[in-house]
Structure 1
């Protein structure tokens, strides 16, 4: 008897979401599904609609129209249940300057009703350890650096063990070490069954920490999937090949004209740079063919379009409109 493949539940489902501010359309008929147990990234330039989308998901604003489900719960039909499911961390969230870190978190633990006073303190300690801020429990919030403040707010977001976490630019202001710690913390969270939906305007940053991602621009969803699928859908699936020859670079360029996948060839001295959109088999055949034809290569390097380049192209398209 053949068993059916296991299907993962959907943690976030967005159907035809639209958000208007007067005559301005911030989110334009976006539909998206995020499977449970993923770190799912949302990227786009400023004004893309990321924060408006997140505010709707966090039940902080009503959409013009559309539906949103968190772990199967319709957020407009059962807003209280949705708020128990979701944890929201806004970009540059403030913390009170007249409270210590522990006091700030214990206040929120009490507001969530997390058991007895001791249980609340224990949960605060767990969340501080998770974000690497245990030693700052008695520090005044006013004395925290920007990166430390971000981590305290993340600890607050973790307190009630949300099944869906919405994080808006969580790495903003973090140094490289803190960014690495954040990525590790997010990966540990998804192992517990949580789903993380995280935004950034830095696509490469999300590509490093996310299992899947999507790109928004001018309120519209442009592409969604794995990093490689997004590259392809955004028209950046091609590769740039750079090869350096001992000699005969010009002759090699003539030999390669018309070969499968080659779109353009640029020469600089004995080096050639190719815009290449062929399959891996075509690339392997090209390398083998050059060797068989007697061309002696010193190096052969492949580079795919960087995510920064993709985002720059999206931003540049905005300026031209």
Structure 2
């Protein structure tokens, strides 16, 4: 049985339908990415899952118990980190976490042990006596995550946890979340940073205008999108100045004349080429079509320094499924 089951979730605000018949499930130890443009219904869905909002219709089960009918029983199993979080002024990291540990009902030695454990896990131990206002954004994000973990929840709901973090802080946050999943916790991450989700999530849900458009692994989303094209990226060496610009334009014109080329995009010194193959075409057909293009470029005297396939990714899946309609 899934740890979390969402069935036919709907949320109306007057005439506005923010969430429209959304259903998905998540197993213990899984990390699910919640993807959609601004206003798609991601945060509303997370607030419902966190029992901070009540659905107009639908059912949410956590370990078989209804979040709607018995929110008080479900809350000890939930850890919610909103997209806008705060820390109190003039308190240390330890004092901040200790305050929330008390709020969660932890007492005495158990509370001190849990605060120490959370600080060690999140790497906050050396900063325990530092004021929260003196921390970097990445470290404040760790404090917020630590607060979410104090009561040892089974399901973590994280709304844009990597927003505004520098590359190092994002990598460290990603490692923490993977460690939590390895402990058996289920994690839902709402984010618009698709590259981050692709590197950490087991599966994804794509919603737009409150409706679920697709769900599954990235490769499953690509297959279900109905886009059978193979993207191949070409890098053409360009001479300096006007000669290089003319050579790039010449290569672009020549590629666009090829029968299977759908479009060509200039990206600096590279040409990104999209080939449209026959439905059901496999890797061998894609390689053969790419070889024809390479031969044509060489025959025209264009100095190709690299020629390789570009793997489709989560951004491709999102743009295909939503058909580019990003708000």
In the alignment, what sits opposite 2:209? 218
Give the drift of 1:58. Answer: 0.6
**2-structure distance, mates of 1:254, 1:188:** 47
Give the drift of 1:255. Answer: 11
SS in 1 for 2:91: coil
TM-score, L = length of structure 2: 0.81
**1-structure distance, mates of 2:79, 2:163:** 18
Corresponding residue to 1:299 among 306, 314, 318: 306
In the alignment, what sits opposite 2:246? none
Is 2:162 the counterpart of 1:154?
A: no
Change (3 A) 1:104 1:140: same
Unpaired runs of 5+ in structure 1? 1-8
Give the drift of 1:84. Answer: 1.3
SS in 1 for 2:325: helix
Give the drift of 1:77. Answer: 2.6
Change (3 A) 1:276 1:96: same
**2-structure distance, mates of 1:118, 1:308:** 47
What is the aligned residue count?
A: 304
**1-structure distance, mates of 2:264, 2:131:** 58
Q: Is the 8 A contact 1:165 1:194 kept in 2?
A: yes
Q: Is the 8 A contact 1:237 1:305 kept in 2?
A: no
Q: Is the 8 A contact 2:256 2:262 kept in 1?
A: no
Change (3 A) 1:288 1:307: closer
Give the drift of 1:236. Answer: 5.3
Give the drift of 1:238. Answer: 3.2
Give the drift of 1:292. Answer: 9.6
Corresponding residue to 1:33 among 25, 30, 49: 25
Change (3 A) 1:106 1:239: same
Give the drift of 1:102. Answer: 0.8
- RMSD value, Cα: 3.3
In the alignment, what sits opposite 1:275? 274
TM-score, L = length of structure 1: 0.82
**1-structure distance, mates of 2:120, 2:316:** 37
Is 2:175 the counterpart of 1:176?
A: no
Give the drift of 1:53. Answer: 0.2
Corresponding residue to 1:207 among 198, 202, 207: 198
Is 2:130 the counterpart of 1:139?
A: yes
290-299 or 93-102: bigger deviation: 290-299
Give the drift of 1:192. Answer: 1.2
**2-structure distance, mates of 1:153, 1:310:** 31
Q: Deviations over 1:23-81 (max 9, x none)?
A: 11110111111222111110111101001000100111111111001122211232222
Change (3 A) 1:83 1:298: same
**2-structure distance, mates of 1:24, 1:172:** 27
Unpaired runs of 5+ in structure 2? 238-249
